[in-house]
Structure 1
Amino acid sequence: MKQAIIIFTRVPVPGKTKTRLMNTLTPRQCAKLHICFLKDICRECEKCGADIFICHTPDGEKEQRLLKEIMGEQKGYFGQQGEHLGERMHRAFEEVFSRGYGQCILIGTDIPELRFGYLKQAFKVLENRDVVFGKTYDGGYYLIGLKKPCPEAFGLGRYGHGHVLEDTVKILSQAGITVGYTKKLWDIDTLSDLKEYRKRMQTRESLKHRKTGQYVTQIASVSIIIPIYNEEKDIEKLQERLKVLQGECEILFVDGGSTDRTLELIDPGYRVIHSEKGRGKQMNAGAKASCGDILFFLHCDSELPERPLEEIRRVMRDYRAGCFGIAFHSRNFFMFTCRVISNHRIKDRKVMFGDQGIFIDRELFFEAGMFPEIPIMEDYQFSLALKEMQVKLGMTGKRIYTSDRRFPKGTIPKLKLMWKMNRLRSMYRKGFPIEKISDMYRDVR
């Protein structure tokens, strides 16, 4: 029996496709995302062995050439015909059945998690049922399969609501038409759908290597949040290092009431917001004012490696939180030891500190309760909160260089400070008053 698959799609032109995502993505990004959907779906359809037809809108030679560049020379391309969605789908089936096919499946293109096995299953269901559907989690369907034209399957006056499948099945049942199902899948129409797809990527290796997964990783937006207070010695150097990232991500300086020349030294091209003093308060204020998918908290005296956004996105493809590996310019043996211990602590104790450049999924940051607004150890407590939530931490391959300004000169003084910092963390875990620990921390600095 001859089998056919109809891929039912818009032509991926910027501004004309995935429009419900355009409040988050640019029109060009929406079009590229749709192209990734088409490539992934087409590859799965080709594995199925059925003839593939592309039914598209708008109809035209230019549009058809664009689709052929994306999907190759398939069995046929033809334009959608009809006033509403149901009529257009019905006519697409009539066109293909007129060419002698005994089974035909029509699929949409918002389901990049489609697998050829689900298509095979749909054809199998058609051996015993008149109609087969592939459900979506929003109440619609991404697939419908028939053995002959069936106008009853397209009798709804309106589509795009949460009862499309339920209402269609009622009509078919009343007409005595039997119905079966294949795999239920998620479609991607909205920002919420895209976020959920990113979460599934972190646990499903196969999604990361597909065109859609690669592109979703590439376009995850990053907000860099930098708490500042009397940073006139470092603020210009940091801005110079951040220049290459302007336009590539959101950059927010959060001032805690600087009394030196810090604010006047910040270029007008950067966004500055104001907060009460306190690193936790400042970083929380920055997070609330930001819009990125990934929040990256950076200290003013840190030096980023080359292409830091790529490093962050690479880690966030597999994890919901992470940080950079840390390094110091100092050649002192104990600073090298500090570097090794800090980087090992991420993997061993699942704890990261602020000078390592913490980055985290936006939703997870707020779910975890943000940074505690305490005088000290806000980063340590935040890591402990993530650990309690059993959040796995990732670490970049490239290092972030941080200042050793809090360390005194000389090997023995450095060793003493490391020991005392460890003692302060121990005191914090044992419940000593945070004010006392804060006073002791200022003493060691």
Structure 2
Amino acid sequence: MTVRKKKHNQAVIVFTRIPLPGQTKTRMMPYLDAEQCARLHTNFLKDIAVACRRSAADVFVYYTPERPAGILEEIFEYAKGFEVQKGDDLGQRMYVAIRDILEKGYEKCVLIGTDIPEIQAKYLKEAFAALDHYDVVFGPTADGGYYLTGMKKPLAETFEKQSYGHGSVLENTIASLESKGITAGLITELEDMDTREDLTAYRNRMRTERNLQYTYTGKYLMRTGRISIIIPVYNEEKTVGRLKEQLRGLKNHCEILFVDGGSTDRTLEKLGTEYRVIHAPKGRANQMNAGAKASSGDILFFLHCDSELPLHPLEEIRQVMKDHRVGCFGVAFQSHNFFMFTCRLASNWRAKHRKIMFGDQGIFIDRDLFFEVGMFPDMPIMEDYQFSLSLKKRKEKTGITKHRIYSSDRRFEGGSFKKLAVMAKMHWLRLQYRKHVSAEKIARQYPDIR
């Protein structure tokens, strides 16, 4: 392929697969399907293209399989050339690419893989600078491999008798080079992205490294974090039909699990077969924990059966979770009663400022954090209160959505005096709990209304 006029004395080789479904990022499957894997890799490439463009180096793309480069030419539209990888194994293909580029007259060349979407131009410049002092330079990954290798002349020894995909790749390579009198330097270590756990770690880094939220990879991961809605039910024949209708528009965009605690009415009959139903011993904590264990989502959303969701609940959850590991909806009631309005204000103030969330507010939480904190405590009552206290003790920041979730006021039936009496009793029960009265004793004072 004809090379355009050279502007720099150094070059970057992007060593990649064409992002084809079923042929790239397959270690992410089945967490991601083949199409999602290809889209993820495409976003990696877009971020890498930005870094390369800012690196003060000419860029060449070496790819596999042998077919029209297509999408690569669109992403790396400024690249000097596109070549099919040549060689019998990975090491030989990398060596041939570096040799070819250095033979074009470049003084320095670095080769990078495409599992590192967090690479920036400064790391490429760091590698070029390190080549002033070393024969070979590597960019190490946390798992013991490397995302970058660079040199000033082609050194086949770098790739001889080496296997890849294990935790001693870089260590073995450097030891072999040094035994031959070849000096090797290291630049900044980065995290590669090969597994579901790597994506989870990236999402966590986005919450502290806000610049990642504006990358192609970050935006894609914020849009595609998998949500599991977990709904504990017990004798909910009056409410379950209405909730099913609300969830119908969401079921192709998230996982939905109903967890029945042994209903004796027509709840199961009304649930039918449209949604997945699992069974657990009665008790909201037991049921929600069972649902969490059976789920597959990155974000767990615990929803009461008598709740009414805002228009775009999944988007609202993702918006909060890009900056937090746990959050909830604000709560509201379909009532114009002054005391219910007061209850709404108090509940939302408590969630926002005191970081205390209750179940009727629709708690959602990072999957790993949920299990780290020990799930909901096995208690007959106050499980959500204690759960919030445990998160608060860990100093987890709680986010709250822009729009409200409407909760049933069925526990507050009756006139204003009866509503006020129920609120006062609930406050009194929480006070007793803080004074270490047992949850079993408190539960006896808070009858099941179903």
Q: Same fold (TM over 0.5)?
A: yes
Q: Does 1:115 align with 2:120?
A: yes
Letter of the 2:264 counterpart? T
CA separation in 1, counterparts of 2:145 and 2:30? 23
The equivalent residue for 1:68 is 73
Contact 1:111–1:187 (Cα < 8 Å) also in 2: yes
Instruction: Provide the rounded CA distance (Å) in 1 between the counterparts of 2:338 and 2:409.
Output: 13
Partner residue in 2 for 1:47: 54
User: Aligned equivalents of 1:98 and 1:444: distance in 2?
Assistant: 80
Q: Secondary structure at the match of 1:360?
A: strand
Hey, what does 2:3 align to over in structure 1? none
Residue 63 (structure 2) aligned to one of 48, 56, 59: 56
SS in structure 1 at match of 2:331: strand
Deviation at residue 348 of structure 1 after TM alignment: 1.4
The normalised TM-score by structure 2 is 0.96
- Give the counterpart of 2:345 among 316, 329, 340: 340
- Aligned match of 1:363 in 357, 360, 368? 368
Q: Which of 215, 235, 238 matches 1:210? A: 215
One-letter amino acid of the counterpart of residue 386, structure 1: L
Output one character per residue of 1:379-429: Cα deviation in whole Å (capped at 9) or x when no partner.
001111111111111111111111111113222322222222111101001
What is the match of residue 204 of structure 2? 199
Could you give the per-residue CA deviations for residues 289-336 of structure 1, whole angstroms, max 9, x where no partner exists?
111111111000001111211111111111111111111111112211
Residue segments in structure 1 that go unaligned for 5+ positions in a row: none
What's the offset of the Cα at 1:444?
Answer: 9.5
Paired with 1:298 and 1:133, the residues of 2 have a C-alpha distance of: 49
Is 1:252 aligned with 2:234? no
> What SS class does the counterpart of residue 405 from structure 2 fall into?
strand
Equivalent residue, structure 2, for 1:9: 16
Root mean square deviation, CA, Å: 1.3
What is the CA–CA distance in structure 2 between the aligned matches of 1:255 and 1:362, rounded to whole Å? 21
- Stretches of 4+ moved more than 3 A in 1? none
8 Å Cα contact 1:156-1:168 kept in structure 2: no
- The 2-side partners of 1:348 and 1:202 are apart by 20
Q: Does 1:427 align with 2:432?
A: yes
Distance 1:71 1:409, change over 3 A: farther
Segment drifting more, 385-394 vs 412-421: 412-421
Work out whether 1:177 is the aligned partner of 2:182.
Answer: yes
State how 1:279-294 maps to structure 2 within 5 Å: 279-294=284-299
Query: By how many angstroms is 1:128 displaced?
Result: 1.3
Aligned length: 443
Query: Equivalents in 1 of 2:438, 2:195: separation in Å?
Result: 46
CA contact (8 A) 2:261 2:281 kept: yes
Shift of 1:73: 3.4
Partner of 1:228: 233
Give TM-score, length-normalised by structure 1.
0.97
Displacement of 1:59 in angstroms is: 2.2
Q: Which residue, out of 141, 145, 150, partners 1:140?
A: 145
2:224 is aligned to 219
Cα distance between partner residues in 2 of 1:156 and 1:203 = 40
The one-letter code matched in structure 2 to 1:258 is S
Is this contact kept in 1: 2:10–2:106, CA < 8 A? yes
> What are the Cα deviations for residues 142-168 of structure 1, in whole angstroms up to 9, with x where unaligned?
000111111111113421111111111
Distance across 2 between alignment mates of 1:271 and 1:208? 33
